[in-house]
Amino acid sequence: MTPGSRLRATVTSIALGLASTEVATAAPDVVTVPLVRGLNVVINFSYMTNSPDLVLSLERIDDEGYKWLSVSKISAADAQQGKADYGGSDTELRNDLAASHHIFTRFFADEDEHVGGTVLMASAEVFSELTTKGTTNIDVVDIPGEKGMTFSPGVTYERKNFRGSLNKVGIETQRIIVDGEPALVSVLHARGTLKARDLTRDYEFWWANDRNSRLLMRYKSEDYVEFRVVRIDNPATDSSGPAMSRFEAALSGSGTGGGGGDELKAEGNDSSGKLKKRDVLPPDDEPTGAGDTKICRAPANGLYFATGSAEILAPSRPALERVAALLKKHPDWTVTIEGHTDNVGSDDSNLLLSRNRAAAVKTALTTQFAIDASRLKTEGYGRKRPIDTNDTPDGRAHNRRVEIARNCR
């Protein structure tokens, strides 16, 4: 079994567990995060107006290192404040991943390879020293964080090196959404007060507690910059893989799809994994008195949009391919594409956004994959059908989704 399939198998067990009433009070399982080609990692930034998401795609793993592509589109409100979209690429070099004690907190547009340091992963030496000794020397290359994640060459002069010691705080868990389901990831937490000439700044890092990945799961500087992984989607575009099998089973009425309204009924988990009641529940789709009708639905995991927009981002291509492949396999199916949002913004704006996003998915399926438009209906529910809490970044990421539904009985 491959590392990716092991994680997907674990996540499948999470979905089955949450669907069972006798284990409804259990927290999500603790999973690992194997780094595999095609992995998508969604990062939330708390310091911008609408907390935009950055989608990182692991494009390549080879003898040189790990190459990540990043893309995001910020909200109109942030653009009006002079902030910019961010995106680009970063290659974590093997030599740096082995022993570097330099950490870059941003991607720099003029550097595809951040030679001498790491961005998204801790080096093996830093991780080992924190694990065994409880402390490590570190050099954090930072610049003001109000502009975004990626900076043009023009701001290079603003870089500052904050140096000092990071000390291990402990092993904790961080709640994220993995392939549409809540899961806990074990993380190594470290913090330190670092200095750059006459400046002093507090830093905290949370890396995946896995010596093989050491992925940066959360980062915090002072009180105004926070980087947090909220969602991970595994590559699973083939027609016979486990993700496709669950997706097809859910829409056929013979299984759960992961992340849909049927799996998380009355309770959800907060960021620490503790259960909490939700204020609003998904409505029952079983029509009263219509015993021969049933609505089956499954989330289209891996769809990403620009913040506050219906623009579909490039990393969404595998998810669209998966939906199109299933529709071509079942030419008799007619489905409804349902858009959902979190609770950021007004009811009216979220309703319109959810409708527009559903319509954008329909357009992509018809124009890029030749799916007959008559087989695709669209609907938007705004923030009216949450499947998780809206009080945390990961909960809101869970609620921002597109689901596929059909009459399956």
pLDDT in tens, 337-353: 999 999 988 999 999 99
CA-wise closest residue to 120 among 144, 100, 90, 150: 90
pLDDT of residue 287: 46
Of residues 376 and 262, more confidence is placed in 376
CA angle 40, 46, 48 (to 5 degrees): 105
- Specify the pLDDT at position 238: 54
Written as one string, the DSSP assignment of 237-270 is -STTSHHHHHHHHHHHTSS--SSSTTTS-SEEE-
Mean pLDDT in residue range 141-153? 55
pLDDT at res. 115 = 67
CB 40 within 8 A of CB 315: yes
**φ/ψ of residue 151, rounded to 5:** -125, 145
What is the model's pLDDT at position 259? 39
Predicted pLDDT of residue 45? 77
The arithmetic mean of pLDDT across residues 250-254, rounded, is 86
Q: Average pLDDT of 275-302?
A: 61
Q: If one looks up domain 242-407 in CATH, what number appears?
A: 3.30.1330.60
- Are 178 and 278 within 8 A, CB to CB? no
Contact 378, 371 (CB under 8 A): no
Average pLDDT, rounded, for the chain: 79
For 244-271, what is the mean pLDDT? 58
Answer whether residue 364 shows pLDDT above 90: yes
Q: What is the mean pLDDT of residues 223-228?
A: 75
Q: Is the pLDDT of residue 94 over 80?
A: yes
What digits encode the pLDDT tens for the residues 42-76? Answer: 998 765 555 678 899 999 999 999 999 888 666 56
280 — pLDDT class (breaks 50, 70, 90): very low
Top pLDDT among 136 and 258 is at 136
Predicted pLDDT of residue 114: 57
* pTM of the shown model: 0.81
Give the per-residue pLDDT at 244: 79
DSSP strands (E only) in 99-253: 102-104, 107-108, 135-142, 150-151, 160-178, 181-196, 199-208, 216-221, 225-233
Q: Quick one: pLDDT at residue 279?
A: 37
Percent with pLDDT over 70 in the chain: 70
pLDDT at residue 156, rounded to an integer = 52
Taking the C-alpha atoms of residue 189 and residue 176, their distance in angstroms, rounded to an integer, is 16
Q: Where are the domains of the chain?
A: 27-233, 242-407
Model confidence pLDDT, tens digit, residues 179-202: 999 999 999 999 999 999 888 999
Whether the predicted pLDDT of 168 surpasses 90: yes
Which residues touch 120 (CB under 8 Å, ≥6 apart)? 56, 66, 68, 90, 92, 215, 216
Given a cut of 80, is residue 143 above it in pLDDT? no
What pLDDT band is residue 160 in, cutting at 50, 70 and 90?
Answer: confident
pLDDT computed for residue 84 by the predictor: 54
Q: Is the pLDDT of residue 23 over 50?
A: no
Alpha helices in 68-136 (DSSP H): 76-80, 94-99, 124-132
Calculate mean pLDDT across residues 308-312: 91
